Structures are given as C-alpha cells and as structure tokens.
Amino acid sequence: MRKSLELIEHITPGQNLDAYVQTISTIPVLSIEEERALAERLFYQDDLEAARQLVLSHLRFVVHIARSYSGYGLPLGDLVQEGNVGLMKAVKRFDPGMGVRLVSFAVHWIKAEMHEYILRNWRIVKVATTKAQRKLFFNLRSKKKGLGWMNNAEVTSIAGDLGVDEQVVRQMEGRMASVDTSFDMTASDDDDAVYLAPAQYLEDHSGDPAEQLEASNWEADSQTRLTGAMESLDERSRDILAQRWLMDEKATLHQLAAKYSVSAERIRQLEKNAMKKIKLSIGQELQLA
C-alpha cells in the first residue's frame, strides 16, 4: 500500500494514462470497516492522511466512469482529471453516519465534474447552458439508438420519458448534430475544403474599402477644419459651443447664463454668432483647398 501511494504522487492522467491506470490498479480496495474508520477519522478529526487514502483507493472507480463518456471524443485523461476533482469534493463532504458507501455518494460529484468539462469542451458554441438543457443533453445521448436523426415515434417516446416538449427534444438534437466550422480558411490541405469556410460565402456589408478610406479621410479632415475654426473664436464663445455641442452632458442656456452672469438669451445669441463664424471659416478653407 505504501509503495503504491508513493508511485501515484508522481503520475497524473494527463502525462501517461496507461502508467496511471496500472499504478492505481495496485492500490487495494478498502473493506467496509477500513473505509468507515478512515471516513470517521476525516469527519471527526479532520485527518488529511485519511482523506488521502480514501481518494487514492477510489481512483480506479473514476477511471471506470470516465470510460463511459469516451463517446464524446474528448481525451480520457482529461475526463479522469476532472472526475478526480469531483472525487475529492465528495470525500470532503462525506458523512460516515449516512450509512452508505463512499462510492455511492461520490458518483454524483464525479459525474457532475465530468459533465461540466464535456459541456465546456464538446463544442465551441455551447449546446446546453441551463440545468434543464444539461440534463436533456446527457439523457438524449444515452437514449438515442443510432447516429441518424430520430423519427417522430422516437421523439415522442423520449419526450415522454424526460417530461419535456417534443420541440425541445428536436432543438437539442439539432444542437448536438451541429459541427463547429472555422470562420476563416481551414487547416486542411484539401483546397476544396477552403470554400466551406463561412468567410468564403458570407456577404460583407461593410462597403467598398475605397469608400471606407475616403469617408475616414473626410472625417479626419473635417475634424481638423473644425478644430482650426474653433481656435479663431474668443475663449467664451469656444466654451459655449463646447458645452452646448461637444460634451457628453450638454449644458443648458440657463446653466451657461449663470456661469457668465448674463441672460439666457445672450448665451443663445453668442452661440448663434459663434456657429456662423465656424461655418464661414470652414467654407473659406474649403474654397482655398
């Protein structure tokens, strides 16, 4: 037992899965009495060595569960690692007074971590986000008889078994059948595969690049002309135009009137005169250009 514990500390599922499985298979399975004694030491005395032995003795069970999810096309080693996290959470929360074996209590935590990993990595676009969708996702995969689309009778049967609407089953089946596609060119050497990328057939609504450049240059030029015209105004007129037109929170005539100790009508007149000067200055610059 001690030799196995020393070996397991230096091997993880992601490094060498075969060596990992071989090593954990040498760890003896705990008897009911041994498991209960260790669980009581952990629960009542917070004995970390007892927790370690409980975890190590159940690692083979995690591998067994991980193999049942091999059909999702994800690395088995990653599934085992996620399941080990669930096992450790279960050991931490296990109460020996409940009268059940640790393996019966831990299976929920182990599967929960694996489910989260599968849903995060099975598709780029998430197929299930709510609790109900996640439950339907895994139940639907286990109940489907083949790889093809289900017929109406199968949909009706599964919807009845799961207690959901038939349309919900159809929607989830469509999500599960979808395939992630690269937006740009694919990594395939097949030239024909390139044309399957959305970038090759989605319409670009951004417009002519030449027109975009012209608009950008026009905007920059207009900004430059406006800045030059503003500099020709006196300080008060510049501030009034800036406060009335260029700020996110525009000032009212009465606010500016209070600031400069004049009437609101006077502020309106100054604003109007400043706007005329701005338009005249910009018009003259355009003629010279």
For each of the chain's 289 residues, which pLDDT tens digit applies? 444 444 444 455 655 788 888 889 899 999 999 999 999 999 999 999 999 999 999 999 999 999 888 766 778 888 899 999 999 999 999 999 888 999 999 998 998 888 778 777 765 445 455 665 666 666 665 555 444 566 677 777 777 766 777 777 676 666 555 555 555 555 554 455 444 555 555 566 666 666 666 666 767 767 777 787 888 888 999 899 888 888 888 889 999 999 999 999 999 999 999 888 888 877 766 565 5
Which string of b and e fits 73-112 if b means at least 16 CB within 10 Å? ebeebbbbbbbbbbbbbbbeebebeeeebbbebbbebbbb
118 φ/ψ angles, rounded to the nearest 5 degrees:
-65, -45
> Cα–Cα distance between 268 and 265 in angstroms, integer?
5
Residue 140 three-state SS: helix
Contact between 98 and 142 (Cβ < 8 Å): no
Nearest C-alpha neighbor of 105 from the set 90, 92, 116, 115: 90
Count helices and strands (H / E) in the chain: 15, 0
> Cα–Cα distance between 7 and 169 in angstroms, integer?
47
Name the residue with tokens 């105004």.
233
pTM (2 d.p.): 0.47
